[in-house]
Structure 1
């Protein structure tokens, strides 16, 4: 170690560059602002202040980023001193200027720390933001007070309440960053620090940028709508607006009090649970870890809505795509769908013309199955019927090169039955994309009984490259998501026979936090999808099962949902009716009569409880069967793919909050309502 270098804590050390002290944060992988980081930073600022021949300081992160946020694991516990506001106070009180050198991401506490410095120098590819509201809290170290002093109250509300990530160029325009460089960041930050020698430039000393009250009110209403009036959004708006009317120290105290209250709220615990669950889901179990096979060229068989969406995802990720169809007309429709997507992105300003052209140039539409020999990965995305899948996979087997990964995009079919029909079952896995595939983040990666570890690893690597959230699932009917959703939907159908109307069930579950209720969702996706799945299961259905035929009767009358103008609801002029019509009510009432049920009024609380408990019971069964490898994976699937409210954490997290006695009573009720074939799970597997 040189004489100019000092280790202050294991994750922070300093180096002298002449008269500038460079403080280096090394807390991989993202330099999270942990207790040890805070201790090291405070010691470094003390050193800067106490050393006469030092004129300025620079804070910089090692590795690929500055500070990408605080250590979230600390937020559910009593916070230990020094807390981040103390570090920022020390920087502001220091008589020598401190410059933050930003690269990678400066998020949350990382950006708050940077805003507490006298200047900020960033690389071209840096992004900044305050995403705390997405975790059920607010910035707690001055973000709600310093940002309005640079961008105004309205823009601060927009930025903070949405968790917006801002690229460095835009951040420079907003004056959140003072300089953007494409050369040596450290050298540029040191030069900037020397230029400030003898001067302090504290944002806290600036006035809040004035704003038109009407513009502020518009920003408030937009944030409340987008944020569903969640507590963190409302608290953020309140403390941001306080920046314009309170002395900064009073406003900072108000911000910190709100932060401390929110970080221990149930909602914040739920959101942190989901945050960590998503990261855990990215990891393969030790037994399946392997080096992924290299993939650059992807062949997608089927140019329908799903196939086109998968193709767009791969093109956006920089991959070469073969789009394969059986006839020119279908291929043309798929190609036009992709071209229209990129045209719309350009027209809306979301994509540059040259990038759209580059993406489209990597697309090769073809009806020539010989082209499959070029592909590293082949994804079948054809009609959801086993006989059709077998025909397609026979062709894939005949044309794909040795070692290519072969994937079926199926929602519920048996991946092993598909794999066994070809000569190389070890190369087959399931990739269950969610529609629209270029928008939805969830990707269920289905492990067949003969899927090779490197094939599974390739599926996971592909998901990450596409920007998806992967979850590994075993091969079982419906995998994780559709099997749980099927149990949820069945219970909601039971409640129709018991006395509820579809609009009551939908409204109750929307009140809980789902974006849409199950019957509105069914109409949107098409009732014939569930009808087809039911018919596929009919031969193996338990005769003791409580089977609700309401959906079948709707489909038999041509009511297939929104696309046919009627399903559970009608769609005059394309808009959904507020209530169900007499045809639907007649079918439901007849179902109650045939079941021998006297209809009764169900409360919103009962509807919510039964629907959630049905999810929980099925989740426990899936975990016990090994279909889901981790209880937390189930929560990721249901939040990312099925609209379960993120701030409730997922069905497993919800169950863990209920208490053993309440869960037991709820399961007793569920068993009574669900018929003779109901399989009651041992919930202990979820609660351990």
Structure 2
């Protein structure tokens, strides 16, 4: 796990190489061994200096979240953290120089361990990243990161790294002062040894110390009490609240660690960090985020839903039908993954425009110093824009991304299948039309599947994989292989109108429109959405997707379902906005006005068409409705078999439409309340606002049995 070699020079080399893992992590076994080895090296008179490194491509990936989540005992967690703190303090104060040779990434606990060394040298590895990303999982650094990093580079420089979880390249970490040197790959250990030899020759009175242990030490850039730092902390606190609405404890606790810790000595600061760390780990927000964003997303990315027994599909050539923004984005992701892409549209100019989308993305990346001209040229060379369906010959899969029109989709399906090989898969990127119905136009429905990408494809990592009534297990397995090859995250759902993501996402938007019809102030509605944790308020979001689209989908649903159709109050509001010609942002007018110069602003005319009620509701009531309406619809999707796992429900919600991460997803929200409490909430809301909140039978059964989506 950690091998030890004491060289003739007196340097003890501690090399991390955890068996059975692709990456080194801090867990019960490795922390125990690390603490023991530090004790031994500090006490061994033959050891004059310590070099810590890794035999793997990276140094340490961070803490093992399974170990972290294994107990709810605050005292146990606190002692674990403090034991590591004591060991690292012994490492940096044992009187022997300590160098860290980092062959690759050092993230989270890995960087915190490296910061306890007196000298850090990294390989110039283009894939290596250095940072403290714990906040992205609802946590804070618990290995001294909130104390050592600001003491090393200054509070003002450290706050963005701690609060945003930024991951720096080696050159940027060197510039920030986190690293002492960056050398050619393979030379980091020799560079560390050279520094150690010089340090070992120093007189006892000149022995190496950490900056914060030197008498007279001052925090770079100013102490906490300095006016500039006080202003920076106040600004950071305001920014955190503006971004999170107080929903995420981690960033606020990080600020508290920095503020409280740096007005004391480092040992007291480390104890302060340990207390806040335990408090944060045990918070429901952190537990929900870890479960969904780490464990569940990890399972999805490892294709947990892939049917067994199907050989892995290796893709070389992909066809994309439709070169609009969606099709162009899919073509870019496929070419980025090294696949040959045939991008087809009705006119050559349209196909060329679709390829130009990739060129624009690459030019933007180049402007930020990402990629080389050669890499960009190679990616573009893999995309063939054309109107000729014959060029689809040899494609392993074709992804249709044309307009949401059944006749058009059937027409392009027929033209593509006439060219495709017998084993090729045909996938539709539809976001609302049932896959089984579209597959009726196919000559091979067993090889027909839905692959719902999200716009913009280059930024949105989710793919909703929709299994039709006749889709084969092999087609599902092979389609998941494609999603993995594209570097994206899949969820698997069964066929239904709106599938899962579009269906549940629409409830948020429509509930906001219903509130408007009730007379709730527009600003209050959108601020309630933000307060709930959604990235955009429902009215602003409706403008983004357009009232026209909502109205078209509702009209088509009404026609398709006939007497079985059940509308929502928000549909009438969308229809009225279409009548008024205020269809959304693309038209320059919707619930908001979009002046050419200046920021968008709510349309004053809303009060005329949707008069405000004399008494306005408490924002908390609106927050409750906006979240509950999504959660209860997700439960219905589970009940109907559209969803088969809570994992896919929650991962899909967070990645697909921005359901608040601190809630863990709509089914995590139900579990956090408990089925009985959520049932009572739904019954109360249904009595006040209508059947859309009516609890499904599944929820009643769970409340009676005490079962949860993630537990018993």
Aligned partner of 1:72 in structure 2 is: 65
Aligned partner of 1:610 in structure 2 is: 625
Alignment of structure 1 residues 509-520 onto 2, 5 Å: 509-520=529-540
From 233, 237, 243, the equivalent of 2:255 is 237
The secondary structure found in structure 2 opposite 1:288 is coil
C-alpha distance in 2, partners of 1:550/1:659?
Answer: 34
Deviations 1:613-641 (A, max 9, x none): 22122111212233222113212112112
Shift of 1:85: 1.1
The secondary structure found in structure 2 opposite 1:432 is strand
Aligned partner of 2:130 in structure 1 is: 128
C-alpha distance in 2, partners of 1:554/1:599?
Answer: 23
From 287, 292, 295, the equivalent of 1:274 is 292
The secondary structure found in structure 2 opposite 1:403 is coil
**Is the 2:585–2:594 contact (alpha carbons within 8 Å) kept by the matching residues of 1?**
yes
The secondary structure found in structure 2 opposite 1:268 is helix
Shift of 1:509: 1.6
Aligned partner of 1:561 in structure 2 is: 584
Alignment of structure 1 residues 313-352 onto 2, 5 Å: 313-352=333-372
C-alpha distance in 2, partners of 1:208/1:677?
Answer: 60
C-alpha distance in 2, partners of 1:216/1:302?
Answer: 54
Gaps of 5+ in 1: 1-10, 593-597
Aligned partner of 1:210 in structure 2 is: 220
C-alpha distance in 2, partners of 1:574/1:434?
Answer: 29
The secondary structure found in structure 1 opposite 2:25 is coil
**Is the 1:346–1:352 contact (alpha carbons within 8 Å) kept by the matching residues of 2?**
yes
Deviations 1:359-379 (A, max 9, x none): 323322222211111433322
Aligned partner of 1:32 in structure 2 is: 25
Greater Cα offset, 611-620 or 355-364: 355-364
C-alpha distance in 2, partners of 1:475/1:16?
Answer: 62
Shift of 1:415: 1.8
**Is the 1:550–1:587 contact (alpha carbons within 8 Å) kept by the matching residues of 2?**
no
Aligned partner of 2:173 in structure 1 is: 171
From 641, 651, 675, the equivalent of 2:656 is 641
Alignment of structure 1 residues 75-474 onto 2, 5 Å: 75-76=68-69, 77=72, 78-79=76-77, 81=80, 83-125=83-125, 126-179=128-181, 180-183=183-186, 193-194=196-197, 196-197=199-200, 200-205=208-213, 207=217, 210-211=220-221, 214=228, 217=231, 221=235, 224-225=238-239, 227-228=243-244, 230-241=248-259, 245-275=263-293, 276-285=295-304, 288-289=307-308, 290-474=310-494
- Superposition TM-score, scaled by structure 2 size: 0.86
Aligned partner of 1:624 in structure 2 is: 639
Distance change (3 Å), C-alpha of 1:53 and 1:215? closer
The secondary structure found in structure 2 opposite 1:608 is helix
Distance change (3 Å), C-alpha of 1:40 and 1:501? same
Greater Cα offset, 555-564 or 236-245: 236-245
C-alpha distance in 2, partners of 1:216/1:605?
Answer: 32
C-alpha distance in 1, partners of 2:505/2:597?
Answer: 26
The secondary structure found in structure 1 opposite 2:668 is helix
The secondary structure found in structure 2 opposite 1:412 is coil
Shift of 1:64: 4.2
Shift of 1:294: 0.9
Alignment of structure 1 residues 472-483 onto 2, 5 Å: 472-483=492-503
Distance change (3 Å), C-alpha of 1:96 and 1:643? same
C-alpha distance in 2, partners of 1:221/1:677?
Answer: 42
Aligned partner of 1:525 in structure 2 is: 545
Greater Cα offset, 247-256 or 630-639: 247-256
Shift of 1:153: 2.0
Greater Cα offset, 91-100 or 382-391: 91-100
Greater Cα offset, 208-217 or 116-125: 208-217
Establish whether residue 14 from structure 1 lines up as the match of residue 34 from structure 2.
no
Aligned partner of 1:545 in structure 2 is: 566
**Is the 1:434–1:440 contact (alpha carbons within 8 Å) kept by the matching residues of 2?**
yes
Deviations 1:403-431 (A, max 9, x none): 33322111121222333422333333222
The secondary structure found in structure 2 opposite 1:487 is helix
**Is the 1:477–1:483 contact (alpha carbons within 8 Å) kept by the matching residues of 2?**
yes
**Is the 1:148–1:208 contact (alpha carbons within 8 Å) kept by the matching residues of 2?**
no
The secondary structure found in structure 1 opposite 2:593 is coil
Shift of 1:33: 0.6
Size of the aligned set, in residue pairs, is 670
Greater Cα offset, 296-305 or 463-472: 463-472
Shift of 1:326: 1.4
Greater Cα offset, 549-558 or 671-680: 671-680
Shift of 1:26: 0.5
Distance change (3 Å), C-alpha of 1:286 and 1:603? closer
The secondary structure found in structure 1 opposite 2:463 is strand
Deviations 1:442-501 (A, max 9, x none): 221222334344443343343344342322222222222111123333444443444424
**Is the 1:300–1:321 contact (alpha carbons within 8 Å) kept by the matching residues of 2?**
yes
**Is the 1:546–1:676 contact (alpha carbons within 8 Å) kept by the matching residues of 2?**
no
C-alpha distance in 2, partners of 1:23/1:411?
Answer: 50
Distance change (3 Å), C-alpha of 1:319 and 1:602? same
Distance change (3 Å), C-alpha of 1:447 and 1:197? farther
Greater Cα offset, 401-410 or 438-447: 401-410
Deviations 1:582-601 (A, max 9, x none): 4x445546xx9xxxxx9974
The secondary structure found in structure 2 opposite 1:83 is helix
The secondary structure found in structure 2 opposite 1:269 is helix
Shift of 1:111: 0.7
- Superposition TM-score, scaled by structure 1 size: 0.88
Deviations 1:130-156 (A, max 9, x none): 012223332222212222343222211
Greater Cα offset, 557-566 or 348-357: 348-357
C-alpha distance in 1, partners of 2:156/2:273?
Answer: 17
C-alpha distance in 1, partners of 2:368/2:118?
Answer: 37
Aligned partner of 2:41 in structure 1 is: 48
C-alpha distance in 2, partners of 1:577/1:53?
Answer: 70
**Is the 1:140–1:255 contact (alpha carbons within 8 Å) kept by the matching residues of 2?**
yes
Deviations 1:554-596 (A, max 9, x none): 21332211222322333344767654544x445546xx9xxxx
Shift of 1:438: 0.9
C-alpha distance in 1, partners of 2:292/2:46?
Answer: 48
CA RMSD of superposed structures (Å): 3.1
Greater Cα offset, 161-170 or 94-103: 94-103
Deviations 1:241-290 (A, max 9, x none): 56765332233333333223322223222322322222232243466134
**Is the 1:406–1:427 contact (alpha carbons within 8 Å) kept by the matching residues of 2?**
yes
C-alpha distance in 2, partners of 1:573/1:286?
Answer: 47
